[in-house]
Amino acid sequence: MANVSGQWKTVLNSPEGDQGGVLTVKSSGNSFTGTYDSEGNTVAIQDGKVDGDALSWKMNVSIPMPMMIEFQATVTGDSLTGTAAAGAFGSWPLTGTRE
């Protein structure tokens, strides 16, 4: 199982342009908790799961509008790549590096 704990500097390539943020992860076995901070808005991670080097989690955001975003990512060393899916709004690429 990959070590996923730490702070990850991320970029989400959304329709509104690149959105930078910091994903803070604390893993325990096959689950993790944490927060995502972007532009001064902090959102709690929900349903964080670890499966080998794969991560999945959800976030209920209110900015720019209320929606649930579902994330899937793969950790390779200190790099993270994946997608963020926001229902009818589509799916966007996510990248990150551990700080």
The answer to whether 13 and 92 are in contact (CB under 8 A) is yes
At residue 45, the pLDDT reads 96
Pick the more confident residue, 87 or 1: 87
Mean pLDDT, residues 48-68 taken together: 88
Mean pLDDT, residues 42-66 taken together: 90
83: number of Cβ within 10 Å:
15
DSSP state of 3: -
For residue 52, the SS3 value is: coil
Domains (ranges, CATH) in the chain? Answer: 6-98 (2.40.128.120)
At residue 63, the pLDDT reads 72
Give the H/E segment covering residue 6. Answer: strand 6-14
User: What's the pTM?
Assistant: 0.89
